[in-house]
Structure 1
Amino acid sequence: MIHRSRHLQALRTALSLFPVVAMLGARQVGKTTLAREMAKEWTEPAHHFDLQDPEDQARLSDASFVLRRLTGLVVLDEIQLRPDLFPLLRVLADRADTPARFLLLGSAAPELLRNTAESLAGRVVFHELEGLMLDELPSPMLDARWLRGGFPRSLLAPSDAASRAWRESFIRTYLERDLPQLGINLPALTLRRFWTMLAHYHAQTWNGSELARALGVSDKTVARYLDILEGTFMTWRLRPWHGNQGKREVKAPKVYLSDTGLLHSLLGIAAEHDLLAHPKCGASWEGLAVREIMHKIGAGRDEAHFWGLHSGAELDLLIERQGQRLGFEVKLTRSPKATPSMRSAQQALGLTHLYVLCHGDGPIAPLADGISALPLQSLSTLHADSAFEALLTASWR
């Protein structure tokens, strides 16, 4: 089993400060496994309720009677199936002696967990769990992680064929069972068609009108489809950076599928040679690299942007903290070069440094003044004396 120590430490800290912690992420991303690891090291009693299990559902038929009596750690798995529990959890969280801490596991974002924020405001902290990241894996697994995605059962499957079969089953179950359980009643074929079309727009700016015309629906309808996929952690948006009002900057967000394995399944990519020959290969690599760098830095989505001008200059990722700006450009190559577009972004945005995320491993290498190559595989093994790590340690942490 892969030990996800970074997330465990985050949960420990959150549970020490808040009576309720909600760990949210896509189904099958590893939330239950991580909760069980947390329960094993808990010094007090731990209780686990799976709200998809009929037996646990029966146990919680009188939830107030059952939960009020419990002490220690109480785990409520698939909490989105019981939004009626949130008012009760507010009452239990407000008890003076705090006899129990509650760890909620959910497969929907707070916006889809009806009344969560209102019921538990000030009492809950959210922790998002993504798929397995490169710093949680042995170094030779970069290409497997890229092809198969980060869901543990997909990534660790015995073969590419088994991995792809698991992902196809996941997509069907998500569309036919998971969404209806959330009260989202849309034809599975319609949403799969939209999801597949969105895969072809992966890493591009959102153009709802174009997708609406292709599907024969309204702009408002495709926006709702996108909100549903994002609210269940299947997609995410990277906001544009607006700085210079005198230039025609791109205003629409970029849209990414959250998992490269699901992206490849929707695109019909079965193996590595198919991926390398596919027109979306570079866009797929960009999605992986952008999420990895955000994970490494610990950048929230409010700190991460892309930048682009209608004239063509662009930057794949801009992260700003404490008055400093780091830029990241993604290139699927082992031998990147500084380009005029990079220099334009460097000058226009006043970057502290610009890194070119490339394939392979090895040390950070200078390409030009203020521009360096950063192999993606090296993110998990950077030493504290590297320029990248030193900047983060000195200024950002």
Structure 2
Amino acid sequence: MTVYERHLEPRVLEALGDTPVVTLQGSRQTGKSTLAAKVGEQLGARIYTMDDAATRGAAQADPTGFIQALGGGPVVLDEVQRTPEVILPIKASIDRDRRPGRFLLTGSADLLRMPGAQDSLAGRAETLTLNPLSQGELTGRHDDLVSALWARLTSLTDLTDFTTAVTRADLVHRACAGGLPEATARTDRRRSSWFEDYAERLVRRDAQDLGQTPPARLRAALDLVAANQAGELVMAHIARHVGIAETTARSYVDRLRSLFLIQSIAAWSRSPTSRQIKKPKALVTDSGLAAHLADLTEEELLSPLGVNQFGPLLEGFVAAELLRQQTWSASRFRLSHYRESGGQEVDLLITGPGGAVVGIEVKATVTVTAHHFAGLRRCAERIGDDFKAGIVMYAGDQAWSFGAGLLALPVSALWELQA
């Protein structure tokens, strides 16, 4: 299998340089073990995996003795969610010796939500999330769209010379392939079989590490998120279709988040309190898995009627790429979505330092019209001077100016536009 350079690697090394414990988390098969082993080799660390029955048994039988036997480090403990009993002994060890870089932990579930993890390691640990491969990582580019845009906010018209060889068919293929390394290397039919096995094993095995949940109902909740990819997360809708109480639906969604199978994007508001009240959007983290769960094929999406089905998948693809880039971007930013009670909306808002906002509308068409900017113009009126630019990302091959601060930009700018 191809070994990819991961853009998160420098951040992992940086964190280990001043923090005793670094936790590398993310869903199964994103490449955490590979990255941890590479970092561990650079640091001369010993590596143990809790997927190994003997290692896991030793840690469970005597967690304190197991951690003490590791000495001062550096040590990599892979898939540590299998043995949450070691977290408290790690805390005790760190409190005796706070040298940086002692432990690199990896986990396929959120350790803060693991039953049996009796401490958060607050003040002692830094947590980094490894997502599926970004398009930049797949193509050997350092993708950082926000930094590239921020550097050009006062001269967006300079981007009208941006062109791409990436076609709509290419975008369909990329979205359906996703970014899980094992899946990207397979053909359509074999990839579909892999995704099905992947989803079933996660809901039937890994999810149970977080507490007993009926696998069929958890899978139904996951399928519903995929069917409404990048749509508003309505708990009552999930509860009604899965046949559970709304409070139970909320716990199912939390479980899917803890497994990093889905991600949320909060609604935009100037008030942090309002952001918590308004409905977030939800998306399956990997677009390829989302396409499989929604029973979408490349052939179907490329048909004359496929543009409507491709729209939500492409929006989720763009959102997921930006969420990946957020973990290594040179520019700090927050991702949200915009929706008014009257129905006016913008797919994504990027908010940077000082409250500067760039709106992103995603269209699956290969042409752009002035009508596609209606939501962005309304959003600009509402937000005022903080709104710096409105961009329609579309499946075409050429950037176009649509007036001051308004730009149509090919989706491939996500990974092809350099700062």
Q: Normalising by the residue count of structure 2, what TM-score does the alignment of the two structures yield? A: 0.82
Residue 64 of structure 1 deviates from its aligned partner by 3.1
State the percentage of identical aligned residues: 29
Counterpart secondary structure, 1:355 = strand
Partner residue, 1:164: 192
What is the root-mean-square deviation of aligned Cα atoms in Å?
A: 2.6
Residue 100 of structure 1 deviates from its aligned partner by 6.0
Partner letter of residue 336 of structure 2?
H
Q: How does 1:1-397 map to 2 (within 5 A)?
A: 1-42=2-43, 44=44, 46-60=45-59, 61-68=61-68, 69-96=70-97, 98=99, 101-114=102-115, 118-138=119-139, 142-157=171-186, 159-180=187-208, 182-243=209-270, 251-269=278-296, 271-276=297-302, 277=305, 279-296=308-325, 298=327, 303-323=334-354, 324-338=356-370, 339-350=373-384, 351-361=387-397, 364-384=399-419
1-side partners of 2:137 and 2:99: how far apart?
34
Partner letter of residue 223 of structure 1?
R
Partner letter of residue 15 of structure 2?
A
Residues 341 and 210 (structure 1), Cα distance of their counterparts in 2 relative to 1, 3 Å cut: same
Residues 190 and 165 (structure 1), Cα distance of their counterparts in 2 relative to 1, 3 Å cut: same
* Matched-pair contact (CA < 8 Å) for 2:85–2:117: no
Residue 144 of structure 1 deviates from its aligned partner by 3.1
Residue 335 of structure 1 deviates from its aligned partner by 2.5
Counterpart secondary structure, 2:412 = helix
Residues 117 and 242 (structure 1), Cα distance of their counterparts in 2 relative to 1, 3 Å cut: farther
Higher deviation after alignment, 117-126 or 274-283:
274-283
2-side partners of 1:378 and 1:84: how far apart?
45
1-side partners of 2:310 and 2:101: how far apart?
48
Residue 112 of structure 1 deviates from its aligned partner by 1.6
Larger RCO (alpha carbons 8 Å, 6+ apart): 2
Partner letter of residue 51 of structure 1?
M
* Matched-pair contact (CA < 8 Å) for 2:391–2:406: yes
Deviation sequence 1:44-81 (CA, Å, 0-9, x none):
3x211111211222443434334334344211111111
2-side partners of 1:97 and 1:149: how far apart?
39
Residue 89 of structure 1 deviates from its aligned partner by 0.6
2-side partners of 1:137 and 1:149: how far apart?
10
Q: Which runs of 5+ in 1 are unaligned?
A: 245-249, 385-397
Residue 358 of structure 1 deviates from its aligned partner by 1.7
2-side partners of 1:166 and 1:318: how far apart?
34
1-side partners of 2:403 and 2:326: how far apart?
23
Residues 301 and 264 (structure 1), Cα distance of their counterparts in 2 relative to 1, 3 Å cut: farther
* Matched-pair contact (CA < 8 Å) for 1:307–1:314: yes
Higher deviation after alignment, 252-261 or 297-306:
297-306
1-side partners of 2:100 and 2:318: how far apart?
43
Deviation sequence 1:267-314 (CA, Å, 0-9, x none):
122x31223445532111001111223434557998221111122221
Counterpart secondary structure, 1:147 = helix
* Matched-pair contact (CA < 8 Å) for 2:389–2:405: yes
Residues 357 and 85 (structure 1), Cα distance of their counterparts in 2 relative to 1, 3 Å cut: same
Partner letter of residue 67 of structure 1?
I
Q: Which runs of 5+ in 2 are unaligned?
A: 141-165, 272-276
* Matched-pair contact (CA < 8 Å) for 1:21–1:127: yes
Counterpart secondary structure, 1:6 = coil
* Matched-pair contact (CA < 8 Å) for 2:203–2:219: yes
Residues 57 and 331 (structure 1), Cα distance of their counterparts in 2 relative to 1, 3 Å cut: same
Q: Normalising by the residue count of structure 1, what TM-score does the alignment of the two structures yield? A: 0.86
Residue 341 of structure 1 deviates from its aligned partner by 2.1
